[in-house]
Chains A and B, each alone.
Chain A
Amino acid sequence: MIAVQGVPLVDFLLLGALLFCVGLFAALRRSNAIMILMGIEVMLNAVNINLVAFSRYLPRGGDRGQAFAVFVLAVAAAEAAVGLAMVIIVSRRRGTIEIEEISDMRG
Chain B
Amino acid sequence: MNWPMVAFVVLGGITVYSGWRVATAPLVTHAALFLAVTFAGVGGLFFLLQADFLAAVQLLLYAGAVMTVVIFAIMLSEMKDIEEPRPRGWLGALRSPSLGALPFIGAVLLFAVMLVVYLRGAPALPVTPLPAPTNSTVFIAGALFKIYALPFEVASVLLLAAMIGAIILTRVEGGRRR
* Interface positions of A (Cβ within 8 A of B): 1-15, 17-26, 28-35, 37-39, 41-42, 45, 48-49, 52-53, 55-59, 62-64, 66-67, 69-71, 73-82, 84-92, 95-100
Nearest residue (CB) in B for A92 is B173
Q: What DSSP secondary structure best describes chain A's contact surface?
A: helix
Chain A min CB distance to B116 (Å): 11
Interface residues on B, range: 35 or more
A49–B158 contact, CB under 8 A? Answer: no
A19–B69 contact, CB under 8 A? Answer: no
A-B residue pairs in contact (CB < 8 Å), sample of 17? A4-B129, A9-B125, A9-B127, A10-B125, A25-B104, A48-B42, A48-B46, A56-B130, A67-B148, A73-B57, A74-B155, A77-B162, A79-B162, A82-B166, A84-B70, A91-B76, A96-B79
* Most chain B beta-carbon contacts within 10 A, residue among A15, A58, A64: A15
Q: What DSSP secondary structure best describes chain B's contact surface?
A: helix
* Interface positions of B (Cβ within 8 A of A): 2-5, 7-8, 12, 15-16, 19-20, 22-24, 28, 31-32, 35, 38-39, 42, 45-51, 53-54, 57-58, 61-62, 65-66, 69-70, 72-74, 76-80, 84, 94-99, 102-104, 106-108, 110-111, 114-115, 118-119, 122, 125-130, 132-133, 136, 139-140, 142-144, 147-148, 151-152, 155-156, 158-159, 161-163, 165-166, 169-170, 173, 178
